[in-house]
Amino acid sequence: MVISKYSLIGAILQYHPETISAFSEMGLGCVRCPSSARETLEQACNVHGMDLDAVIEKLNSAIVNS
């Protein structure tokens, strides 16, 4: 799975559970959020005021380094 701004957070967590710690380190409680199944990464970053490109980079790094 390629992570992009259109990726659903629930799908990222399902296919790449190694990203859980990266989400937590960034202060995103996506693992416990009921909206994560239908929320895109872009939407989450907008809601939390986070840099989308930095979040994508960190998540991809977590996948590569697992």
Could you tell me the pLDDT band of residue 31, with boundaries at 50, 70 and 90? confident
- Whether 37 has a pLDDT exceeding 90, the answer reads no
Q: Is the pLDDT of residue 55 over 90?
A: yes
Alpha helices in 5-66 (DSSP H): 9-15, 20-25, 41-48, 52-64
Query: In Å, what is the CA distance from 59 to each residue of 12, 21?
Result: 9, 9
pLDDT of res. 33 = 81
Rounded CA-CA distance 38/34 in Å is 9
* pTM, rounded to two decimals: 0.88
> Residues 10-33: what's their mean pLDDT?
90
